[in-house]
A and B are shown apart, each in its own frame.
Chain A
Amino acid sequence: MAGSDLYVGTLDVLILKALSWGPMHGYGIGRWIRQTTEDGLAVHEGALYPALHRLQRKGWLDEEWGLTDTGREAKYYRLTPVGRRQLRAEISRWRAYASAVGAALDAVTA
């Protein structure tokens, strides 16, 4: 399931990133991740929702109910100030991790 063969927290940081543009509903977030990663994350779309609820419980996301462009009622997620700070921290952590792993993989001697 969620992130089973992924770097732990990948989905979380992607959700935070998706919401950094503004409030979105779950489907919108899922679509954004699919499109930007070009379906590179081999997970079920359903895995998104427990992650969303968990982030909300941590206080990184807030919910608000609103109407979609088509006039449907939907639950929108929004970054809280804490969530925004968290996104910045996660991004720098991810970069550090990626470059560390990258450097190791690029090493010429074993």
Chain B
Amino acid sequence: MRRLFRLSRPASEVSRDLSSELQFHLEMRTQELIASGLSPEAARSAALRAFGDVAQVERECRGISERRVRARERQDYMRGLVQDLRYALRTLRKSPGFTFIVVLTLALGIGANTAIFSMVRGVLLRPLPYRDPGQLVFLQQPATRAAVVNAQFSVPELMDYRAQSRALSGIVEYHSMPFILLGRGEPRRVQTGVVSANFFDLLGVQPALGRTFRPGEDVGGAEPVLVLSYGFWKTQLGGDPAIIGRTFTMNDHVHTVIGVLPPIPQYPGENDIYMPSSACPFRSSEQMINGRQMRMLTLFGRLAPGVTASGAQTELDAIAKRLHAEYPGDYHDDQGFGIVATPLQAQLTAQARPTLLLLLGTAAFVLLIACANVANLSLARLVRREREMALRAALGADRARLIRQLLAEGFILAGTGAVAGVALAWAGLGLLTSFAARFTPRSGEIALDAPVLLFGLGLGAFTGLLFGLLPALPSRVGLAGALKDGGATTGSSQSLRARAGLVVAQVAVSVMLLVGAGLMLRTVLALQSVDPGFDPEQVLGAKLDLNFSKYTSNELIQEFHERLRERLAAQPGIQMVASSRGYPLDGRRAFGFDFQIERHQRDPGEARPQADFQAASPDYFRALGIPLVTGRLFTAQDGPKAPSVAIINQSMARRYWPSENPVGQRVTTDSGETWTTIVGIVGDVHQYSLDAAPVDEMYLPFDQVPLREGALVLRGSADAGTLARRVKEEVLALDADQPLAGARPLVEVRGESLAAPRLTATLLGIFAGLALVITAAGLAGLMAFSVSQRTQEIGVRMALGAARSDVLGMVLRQGLRLVCIGLAAGAVGAFVLSRLMAGLLFGIRPNDAATFALTGVVLLTIATLACLVPARRAATVDPMVALRST
């Protein structure tokens, strides 16, 4: 009697169904009433009366039904989605090899990108942890003609700029010195930031505890106060909550703790504690306060509202010009003093930027290759699945549903890859942070925070979308035809072309990455083969900063060093001990100074002679293996009372005495009041870095210029740990209040100076290797697929007399043709892009032919191997089987 012809209706039809339902009721009721004897009109109105307010009922019913239909639609959609995901999981489980390769490829690609992005964000993108960091500028006073990037500022200069600048709403000073902190346990060597009272206010740093400095606390005679860094307070003082108001003794004065800084990274450098400039005995000396040439302060400024950095620069230039005119004796024309204001953030990250951007670009390339590979694999799989898709389409699955199906697979793969990738990035974070620390003080801000996680997962979503949809594009052609065709499907030749294109792109990108890695590797090799000018084997260096308030005279310093050297030299296993300003590559910059050469008239405009100042006791050169070129080394006779003598390095000798023997010549640093005789020339030493040329240096006997902030160098046959312990013991035996920075083997110091380029090379190498493996896998996959598609053709060829070697050659030729196209494209790309990394290279040009050639050879070898596997399979095709298997 009733036939079921539809089950449910979409929301749009609810209202039509409803009115027909109510209409049906009214009609039936009317007929019933007519049958009982009423006239049609009377029946109709009686039916309506019995029914009540039709419009009201209809409204009420529609509300209920629409809610029901919408809920059902949502439910259907979710059920479909779950179904799709389950189906996708089942499909992926059926091809575990494909799934594993894709997830692994994506995890590596996404992991590399997430990790590098976390560095880029922490270092380059994240704003500095200060109030309105965009307004902060770093001030530098270059002396361009003397090749000095930043001579820093003196106290009178600070006062002048502060008084005259309107473009800067404030200027703060900073310098850092080691002091000795007494009280609460053993004496501690504390790195102390010496700052003006407005330092923290200008930066906008709120204390975690107590307060920061108040105006007036940096004026001479103010009560000495201290602000502790968070790290020092936590680790050295156990985070004592009652620390405010406690006192410590420094430089023979009692200092009161007034505050603790929040746990934010400190710029420009990490310090244990901070004191106002008036508390620093060095900074508050008469000589510093009045000496316009006593430049040792680092200055920061905050731009006044509405002023740009370039606006401030114009004003500062004008002030500098006035100062130069007012004090001509302090700004010699031949030194070319100036002033430069740079946004602080740019200044802090200038060194890291090129490396990080290079790595980010590289990581992006790796992800690109990974995506290409996954797309390639998906295309290959889709060709095999074209019949399945067509069947499903014929059974009523609409196109949107099929695409959703493909997307579900894509998102499962990409999602798993993204999660694994983020885990990889997380695992590598510690390594990357220490890597970045070599370039920038901001490395502490690197973290896998929400934006980085979003970045990683966003990459995952993007790749999921990409290779979920990519296979769906050719399927537009394929779906209809696939069912009709028997074996070879219509989409396959098209997709084979697409896949060949992908492989060519992969090869090209791999070439670029290999060239980059190769150039970086050659840079490291070149740096490693740089002769540092000293022999680091069996040598230790230790920084030795004596207590400022205890060792107040040159005599006391000299005596301490002499006694220490005697005690150490008496120890077994120590062959040589020397006192010095520092040791090579210790990261502490020497002071540069001007000098005049006796009987030497400078041409007008010629730069004033300049050299870096070094101090060394007699055994210094022998301990470090620095060769004596001519003249003599220092001896015990070059004592405090003896005539002033100096040894210069070869670089300085060549510059100022190109055609004479400098030995016996005299120079002066005080306009002729005292003269120093050059007694010898020694070899050049890379004091600051292996990639920079040695600078001009003049060594003076340590006993004649004892340094409170100096170093100890010793050569010994005992192992480094024993030697370091002995140094510490002997220092404490002489002065129990004297802390010592650890003695370090120079081999280690030298290795560390290479760590940054080595790590960059390692990362690039890993990325390039990854790219190569992925590309090889893609190539092998493509060739294998192509061979399997051509089995019949190969069978025919062999039946017609082609030898196995012909078939092998044919497949190899086909693969290598793609490789060669990619190689050529990649070489062009590398030629263009490698210029961008010129600044990171050393001892090699970015278009180095050998690196390019080697890259080509490596790539061709790997590619040939990758093609060989499928080619051999093609060569073993049995013609009879191939022909029959139609």
- Which residues of A does B touch, CB under 8 Å? 1, 23, 25-27, 30-31, 44-47, 49-50, 52-54, 56-57, 63-69, 72-76
Contacts and interface: CB of A to CB of B under 8 A. Distances in A.
Contact of B68 (A49, A53, A65, A73): A53
A63 B756 CA distance: 74
A11 to B, nearest CB: 13
Nearest to B52: A44
B25 A69 contact: no
Contact of B51 (A31, A45, A66, A76): A45
B25 A63 contact: no
B5 interface: yes
B529 to A, nearest CB: 81
B61 A49 contact: yes
A27 B4 contact: no
B431 interface: no
A60 to B, nearest CB: 12
A67 B2 CA distance: 5
6 contacts: A27-B28, A53-B68, A64-B7, A66-B3, A67-B3, A74-B24
Interface in B71-121: none
B68 A72 contact: no
Contacts of A46: 22, 51-54, 56-57
Nearest to A29: B25
Given A50-B61, A50-B64, A53-B65, A74 B5 contact: no
A38 B796 CA distance: 90
Nearest to A59: B68
Given A23-B2, A57-B68, A76-B2, A49 B21 contact: yes
A19 to B, nearest CB: 14
B50 interface: yes
Contact of A75 (B3, B17, B68): B17
A65 to B, nearest CB: 6
A76 B22 CA distance: 12
Contact of A45 (B5, B7, B50, B60): B50
A57 B65 contact: yes
B863 to A, nearest CB: 63
A73 B2 contact: no
Given A27-B24, A72-B24, A75-B17, A45 B29 contact: yes
The 10 lowest CB-CB distance pairs between A and B, nearest first, are A44-B52, A66-B2, A46-B52, A46-B57, A57-B68, A53-B64, A50-B60, A46-B51, A27-B28, A27-B25
Contacts, number: 80
Contacts of B56: 46
A25 B4 contact: no
B6 interface: yes
A80 to B, nearest CB: 13
Contacts of A47: 52, 57
Interface of B: 1-8, 17, 20-22, 24-25, 28-29, 32, 50-54, 56-57, 60-61, 64-65, 67-68
A66 B1 CA distance: 9
Contacts of B28: 27
Contacts of A52: 61
Which residue, A25, A45, A73, A74, has most C-beta atoms of chain B within 10 A? Answer: A45
Given A53-B65, A57-B68, A64-B7, A45 B25 contact: yes
A44 B51 contact: yes
A106 to B, nearest CB: 35
A63 B8 CA distance: 7
A23 B56 CA distance: 26
Contact of B52 (A1, A23, A66): A1
Contacts of A49: 21-22, 25, 57, 60-61
A52 B54 CA distance: 15
A86 B69 CA distance: 22
A106 B6 CA distance: 52
Contacts of A45: 25, 29, 50-52
Contacts of A66: 2-5
B24 A57 contact: no
B5 A65 contact: yes
A23 B3 CA distance: 12
Contacts of B1: 67, 69
A50 B28 CA distance: 19
B207 to A, nearest CB: 62
Given A44-B50, A64-B7, 8 more contacts: A27-B24, A27-B29, A44-B52, A46-B22, A49-B60, A50-B57, A64-B4, A66-B3
A76 B2 CA distance: 10
A68 B3 CA distance: 9
Contacts of A73: 20
A105 B65 CA distance: 41
B15 to A, nearest CB: 12
A25 B24 contact: yes
Contact of A26 (B6, B7, B21): B21
A101 to B, nearest CB: 28
B48 to A, nearest CB: 9
A53 B7 contact: no
A69 B24 CA distance: 13
Contacts of B65: 53, 56-57
